[in-house]
Amino acid sequence: MGPIARIIAIVAGLAGGTVLSQAPEFAQQYRQRIGGAIDELRVIVEDFNRQATEHHLNRQQALKTYAQSSDDFLRDRGASMQSTIARYETLLSQQLKLGAAAPVTKPFVLIGEPDDVVFANTLRDFVPGVPVSFAGLVWAAIGFISAWVIAALLGFSVRRVVRGRRTSPHAH
């Protein structure tokens, strides 16, 4: 590997390390947002459950009442409530998985099944953190090594093509 290729590979490695070192911080900010979403959805779901109980219904019976209504508005509200409950339960499950995961693996848990709305909003408002945690340093190392290897492989491929053209009788 020539000196310029080494410099490019090191710069790529540093860029990759810098970017991936933020994965644990992003996971933390995502986790905080998911907690806020759960808190708000809990209020809605518990209110629905309470109202159903006041009318001597459980949640499923109340949703079925909505679904069987002849009124389009009530059927739509029932479908909306069903969707809200499902999202609440999905977010709760993800929060538990994130809470149980080791700090280094939290970004993998997040990538496995992110909530699109929470993910997009976290990305929009993301504030990078200094990777002083062990997880941040691990992710920085992964990013550095990955980007360095990719840059080195790309540099090797480019050199082979350039050398091949120089030695080719059709190069002139």
* Residue type at 152 in one-letter notation: A
Among residues 104, 111, 101, 171, the alpha carbon closest in space to that of 138 is found at 104
Give the tens place of pLDDT for each residue, 4-56.
877 888 888 888 878 888 888 999 999 999 999 999 999 999 999 999 999 99
Dist CA 156 CA 72 (whole Å):
64
Give the tens place of pLDDT for each residue, 50-101.
999 999 999 999 999 999 999 999 999 999 999 999 999 999 999 999 999 9
- The SS3 of residue 113 is coil
Dist CA 1 CA 75 (whole Å):
67
Cβ contact 135:106 at 8 Å: yes
For the chain, give every domain's residue range: 3-165
